């Protein structure tokens, strides 16, 4: 088990799952870095890191590639592109990734959150998703999702992201993750 003061949560600070990851990090005394950009209104201000346009450009992604990879069409609006770029900053900064959302039948995760999960797979990062519909944690293992029993945070630097539509079960899953990882 780590000393929480030595750990950093990387996130986006948006409402829902990211705000809850941040609240739990603050509760346990972890550092937080929430990547944002001009024009974005994060729910958490603690640890806010506003990326410059040059920094966002370093993580630019092909929307055609992302759409094809995830079997859906994404907006080409500049703000949506900045969201995807900031997600790349979140994922690349952590050594493992925890997501709260819903795993779709094609193995991707629903919504923009899904890009964080897919980028984690591309970067070969340990990846866990709490599926709010199935009310269970899953881990990506090589080419498939496998049930994960009570995962813990295993690295000093980790990413926590997910849906804006957090359920009570999702909130409890995040709280349980922190409790198991940083018991008081």
Q: What is the DSSP letter of 6?
A: G
Cβ pair 42, 36 in contact under 8 A? yes
Per residue in 119-171, pLDDT (tens digit) is: 999 999 999 999 999 999 999 999 999 999 999 999 999 999 999 999 999 99
Instruction: Write out the two tokens for 107.
Output: 């193995």
pLDDT score at 31: 98
Of 39, 47, 60, 1, nearest in space to 21 by CA = 47
Q: Does this model's pTM top 0.75?
A: yes
Per residue in 69-91, pLDDT (tens digit) is: 888 888 788 888 999 999 999 99
């Amino acid at each position: 088990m780590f000393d929480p003061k030595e750990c950093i949560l990387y996130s986006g600070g948006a409402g829902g799952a990211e705000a809850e990851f941040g609240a739990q990090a603050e509760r346990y005394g972890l550092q937080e870095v929430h990547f944002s950009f001009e024009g974005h209104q994060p729910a958490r201000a603690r640890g806010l890191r506003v990326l410059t346009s040059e920094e966002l450009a370093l993580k630019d992604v092909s929307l055609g590639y992302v759409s094809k990879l995830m079997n859906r069409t994404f907006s080409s609006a500049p703000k949506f592109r900045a969201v995807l770029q900031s997600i790349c900053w979140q994922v690349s900064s952590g050594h493992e990734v925890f997501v709260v959302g819903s795993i779709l039948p094609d193995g991707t995760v629903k919504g923009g959150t899904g890009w964080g999960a897919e980028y984690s797979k591309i970067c070969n990062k340990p990846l866990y998703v709490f599926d709010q519909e199935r009310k269970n944690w899953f881990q990506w293992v090589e080419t498939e999702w496998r049930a994960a029993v009570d995962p813990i945070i295993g690295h000093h630097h980790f990413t926590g992201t997910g849906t804006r539509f957090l359920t009570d079960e999702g909130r409890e899953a995040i709280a349980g993750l922190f409790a198991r990882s940083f018991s008081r």
